[in-house]
Amino acid sequence: MRFQSVTFISSFTPSLHSIQSLSRASLDRRSKRPQNAFRPNRRVTTSSLAQDPNSEQKDNRKPGLPEETDAERKRREIGRLFSLFSRLALPYWKAEKQARRDLTSVVALTFLQSGISVLFSFVSRDFWTALNTKNAELFYHQAEVFCAVLLAFTPVIVYYHYFRDKCALRWRDWITNRVLKQYCSNRNFYTLEAVDNPDQRIAQDLNSFTTESLALFLTLLVSAIDLVSFSTILFSIYPYLFAVLLVYASTGTYLTAVLGKRLIGLNYNQIVREADLRYGLIRMRENAESIAFFNGEKRENAEITRRLKAAIENMSDVIDLRRQVGFLQTGYKYAVRILPAFLVAPRYFAGAIELGSVTQSMSAFSHILDDLSLVVNRFDSLSQFGAGIDRLAQFVQALEDNIEEEQRTFGTNSEKNLTRGRGHRGGIVLNEIPGRNRFLSVQNLTLYTPGDDMPRKLIDNLSFTLTPGERLLVCGPSGNGKSSLLRALAGLWTNGSGIITCPDHSELFFLPQKPYCTLGSLRDNLVYPKDVKTANFTDAALLRALDLVELSELPSRMGGLDAVADWGDVLSLGEQQRLQFARLFLSGTGVAIIDEGTSALSVQIEKAMYELVLGLGATIVSVGHRPTLLGYHERILRLWEGSWELADITQAERDDVVMQTLYS
């Protein structure tokens, strides 16, 4: 959406006020975050300020007070939107000097632009009067003046747009970085369940917000300046015309608001539905191979068609409503082509004014009407803007709530209570010991699945301690909480009680059940989660790590360490698991947590991988079903139906015993 500045052409050509078809912000805004099996069902409470506009607006007054009237509710809604807007918009302008400088330039150019518009209105008046009085000399002179003003006006317009766009871009850069930082901190990206499509909000909604806010501000400014300057002109020509104008504009605004009030909710829905559609398509692309194996395209097609239908149906409602508003808007805009002339014509016929004054009054009328009709002319874009603010505010509020809660809970204690107000069952205390150590202890750990609705007890009162370099194998039937125990060790799952003492996160290295390959080069993937620049590994060190995990041919096959590919697609599962071990090796970590990290590898390569980790002297906690894993661990923890059993692995068992027999 762009809020156009008033053009000088409308001053020069009095009868024309073109109906601007506003380019609409793309509605295809969102892609849903993939569901993650590890994600706790954590509910994030967002402020009452940030609600879905479709949801009933609750009256938060205390019981006993009289019910809120319609007018009060509307006032509250406007106040709410305004407060959300200022909370999103103001920090940038307060924090950045450069931003204030940029804005000053744009505002100065806006004034200049409006000044030239007024000048045009006078040039135009004399031009038409010269034509009307057949004064050729004056006519050509006015044409020359027009060209001169045009020459001066062009750079003003060009620079106005230039500074405005630059300003919006810098703002977008600043606010996106800020929100992204909040999103990436405090594991918000993992825990923020209640907010849909955060990716779309960060990438697109913030962009629209900055561009549209700035454009709206400038449109309001231009309107205010025009209102003052052109009202003076109009009033001096014919005060009655001015009064008619006020009545005309306020009636139009009121009727548009009444007819189109459903548009905000519909626009909000449209954003959601378009994003759902896009997410369906992205999932299909991401899982193309599995779908192809299943011949699942029909089923996928049906699901995507369902999403498309939802988007189309809602859009159809939007179009229907636009039609209703359109009747009013079109009539409203075209009527002004003759209305002012019609009203001043008697004075012209009576010889009280010149033709130039008629055209000038029409131009002034159009200008002012445009200023007063902001709501009528931009209703659709304004309603989209309102919906966008709601979505953004909801998101930012949720991020801030999460961070505040974290700070409140953690305080300055080294002991981190990660319960975050989870309630009656208390919470698991994660005690991270800073520095290089390889000690791990779990005391009286009772672990539940996340969420307060029917959580399931997975582990009951578990205690164990691993001394540096000790190796524990966790096994048990599927779905009995093995991976969940690792989630608790990482501080991801906190529902329950007990104390976990472990090194801080830089000393813990997790190899998840599903390998993860980051976007970027092979080098990026090897040093992950560190950054290539800070990790500072030589090529030789990286090649050696690849060699150790038997991937030495990978760089030459893929085009070198800096080759970029979709590694999750181009590497086999076994190769990805080996890549994880190369990372582990490079990290030189003290405690390795391996969740079925060798499930796709042959027994021989599994041996090589474990020998590599043993060589690091790391404390190891592994989860796995394979009997061969017994050979690399000293103790075994069996989990089943909430119970557990901890035992030493004897040498005989290490050599020979099949793990299934241990827990079947």
Ligand X SMILES: Nc1ncnc2c1ncn2[C@@H]1O[C@H](COP(=O)(O)OP(=O)(O)OP(=O)(O)O)[C@@H](O)[C@H]1O
When the beta carbons of 216 and 486 are compared against ligand X, the nearer one is 486
Measured CA to CA in angstroms, residue 300 lies from 281, 297, 324, 350 at distances of 9, 5, 37, 75
User: Please, which residues bridge with residue 639 across strands?
Assistant: 644
247 binds ligand X (CB under 6 A): no
Is the Cβ of residue 488 or residue 649 nearer to ligand X in the bound state? 488
Stretch that binds ligand X, among 33-41, 64-72, 183-191, 361-369 (CB under 6 A): 33-41
Binding mask 484-513 for ligand X (x = CB under 6 A): x-----------------------------
From the CB of 621, what's the least distance to ligand X, in Å? 13
Paired tokens of 6: 């008033």
Q: Tokens 């805004």, residue?
A: 29
Residue 660 interacting with ligand X (CB under 6 A): no
The residue among 79 and 479 lying less far from ligand X, judged by its C-beta, is: 479
Total chain residues near ligand X (CB under 6 A)? 14
Tell me whether residue 100 or residue 514 sits nearer to ligand X (CB atom). 514
CB of 169 to ligand X, least distance (A): 39
- The pair phi, psi for residue 432, each rounded to 5°, is -90, 125
Neighbours of 305 (CB within 10 A): 12
Shortest separation between residue 411's beta carbon and ligand X, angstroms? 28
Q: Is 373 in the site for ligand X (CB under 6 A)?
A: no
Q: Which is nearer to ligand X, 339 or 473 (CB)?
A: 473
Contact between 316 and ligand X by CB under 6 A: the answer reads: no
Q: Is 324 an interacting residue with respect to ligand X (CB under 6 A)?
A: no
Write out the binding residues for ligand X, residues 38-97 only, by CB under 6 A.
39-41
Helix (H, G, I), strand (E, B) or coil at 37: coil
Least CB distance to ligand X at residue 261 (A): 40
Residue with smaller CB distance to ligand X, 149 or 486: 486
- Single residue of 21, 37, 62, 538 touching ligand X by CB under 6 A: 37
Q: Which stretch binds ligand X (CB under 6 A): 32-40, 117-125, 163-171, 361-369?
A: 32-40
Question: CA 468, 647, 660: angle at the middle one, nearest 5?
Answer: 115
CB closer to ligand X, 333 vs 487: 487
Q: How many CB atoms lie within 10 A of CB 30?
A: 25
Residue 245 buriedness (CB in 10 A; 0-12 / 13-18 / 19+) = buried
In whole angstroms, what is the distance from residue 514 CA to residue 522 CA?
18
> Within 426-485, which residues bind ligand X (CB under 6 A)?
449-450, 458, 478-484
**Shortest distance (Å) from residue 476 CB to ligand X:** 6
Shortest distance (Å) from residue 460 CB to ligand X:
14
Query: Is position 14 an interface residue for ligand X (rule: CB under 6 A)?
Result: no
Q: How many other CB atoms are there within 10 angstroms of residue 290's CB atom? A: 9
Q: How many CA atoms lie within 13 A of 54 on its CB side?
A: 11
612: exposed, middle or buried (C-beta count within 10 Å: 0-12, 13-18, 19+)? middle
> 273, exposed or middle or buried, with CB in 10 Å at 0-12, 13-18, 19+?
buried
Q: Minimum CB separation from ligand X for residue 464, in Å?
A: 17
CB of 545 to ligand X, least distance (A): 27
Dig out the tokens for 506 from the structure. Answer: 């830089």
Are the CB atoms for 386 and 256 separated by under 8 Å? no
Q: How far is the CB of 479 from ligand X (least distance, A)?
A: 4
> Do the beta carbons of residue 466 and residue 440 sit within 8 Å?
yes
3-class DSSP assignment, residue 311: helix
Please give the structure tokens belonging to residue 594.
Answer: 């391996």
Q: What residues line the site for ligand X (CB under 6 A)? A: 37, 39-41, 449-450, 458, 478-484
